[in-house]
Amino acid sequence: MNNYKLLPALVSILQTRNLTESAKQLGVTQSAISKTLNQLREDFYDKIIVREANKFILTKKGEKLKEQLPALLQQLDNLYAPELMEPSLCQRQFTLASSDYVAQAILPSIAYNIEKEAPNVSIEYKLWHKDNLNTFAEQHVDLVATIADFIPDNLYGKMMAEDQLAVVFRNTHSKSTNDITINDYINAKHILISGGGDKSSPVDQVLTMMNLNRHIFATVPFFQAAIELLLKTNTMLTIPLHIAADFAQHYDLQIKRLPINIKAQKYYLLWHAKHHQDPEHRWFREICFPLIKTHLEKTIEQGMKLIHTHQ
């Protein structure tokens, strides 16, 4: 294979699985894209993309190329990029994804540091769903702060902290003076946070295995909304201990241990392999990582003190 100029067209074909769409993306005719595909098939000794019923599917080779090519092309581009990052000259927009809690609690500090060092850089924040990890390359995201059980191929990451889930409710709740039993828990009314993926799905998985289920009184998309509801109703909320501890500093809340056994959640900062050598990206992640990690460690420590105080 020596015609590397065809590779961007191949990436487009692999992502769209539609020759008309790829032709439009690349600004060429459909016959030109068909000719390119035929050449690529010869070069790779593989059909790459085949018709099945009324749609196109990728061959095994095509799937492999789809996974590996974007990162390889980015690495080639990076050869031409300057090795030094000069923050005052950088005009890039970076995209960070995580929960609405991170947007509220940590993003302001990140933005403060960015503005101070690189006044022409901008930031976009996206809500993150854990399920997106498997399609990271297609998400158009620079960094993700998320809970993960494993790191998919082609992603780089650093673990920031481990945390457990805890139960939170208002100080006037009927269970505020005692430890919570499993019966208390399943007989209570619960608030669920839906934004950015189901944040307490491990709870329901464990309860299902025990042939139990809890009563969901209300489902809301954001942490702040859940806390406001919690303060006005006789309900419980199951959230990570560090978030519970942070909110407990500002509101009259009780934090209790979860009465079921759930393994600790691991928090990572992740990025795609295609960004790993990029000096601008490295600068961005070196701003984000210590701020998120420090916040996690500090609030987890506060949470451990509170959960022991309230036993």
Report whether 248 contacts 255 (CB < 8 A). Answer: yes
Classify residue 208: in a domain, yes or no.
Answer: yes
Query: In terms of domains, do 182 and 129 share one?
Result: no
Query: In terms of domains, do 124 and 101 share one?
Result: yes
Query: In terms of domains, do 23 and 172 share one?
Result: no
Query: In terms of domains, do 21 and 41 share one?
Result: yes
Report whether 44 contacts 1 (CB < 8 A). Answer: yes
Alpha helices in the chain (DSSP H): 7-16, 19-26, 30-44, 60-80, 100-105, 107-117, 182-187, 201-209, 223-232, 241-248, 279-309
**Per-residue model confidence (pLDDT) at position 20:** 86
Rounded Cα gap, residues 284 and 113, in angstroms: 10
The Cβ of residue 168 has, within 10 Å, a number of other Cβ atoms equal to: 25
Residues of the domain holding 57: 4-80
Classify residue 229: in a domain, yes or no.
Answer: yes
Classify residue 114: in a domain, yes or no.
Answer: yes
The pLDDT tens digits of the residues spanning 30-76 come to 888 889 989 888 888 899 898 888 788 889 998 898 888 888 888 88
Angle of helix 7-16 relative to helix 30-44, nearest 10 degrees, comes to 100
Query: In terms of domains, do 219 and 98 share one?
Result: no
Domain final position from 80, 112, 141: 80
Report whether 172 contacts 231 (CB < 8 A). Answer: no
The pLDDT tens digits of the residues spanning 102-147 come to 999 999 999 999 999 999 999 999 999 877 887 887 788 999 999 9
Classify residue 189: in a domain, yes or no.
Answer: yes
**Per-residue model confidence (pLDDT) at position 132:** 82
Domain final position from 24, 59, 80: 80
Exposure string over 235-272, b if 16+ CB within 10 A, otherwise e: bbbbbbbbbbbbbbeeeebbbbbbebeeeebbbbbbbb
Query: In terms of domains, do 132 and 247 share one?
Result: no
Classify residue 85: in a domain, yes or no.
Answer: no
Classify residue 24: in a domain, yes or no.
Answer: yes
CATH code of the domain containing 179? 3.40.190.10
Query: In terms of domains, do 55 and 121 share one?
Result: no
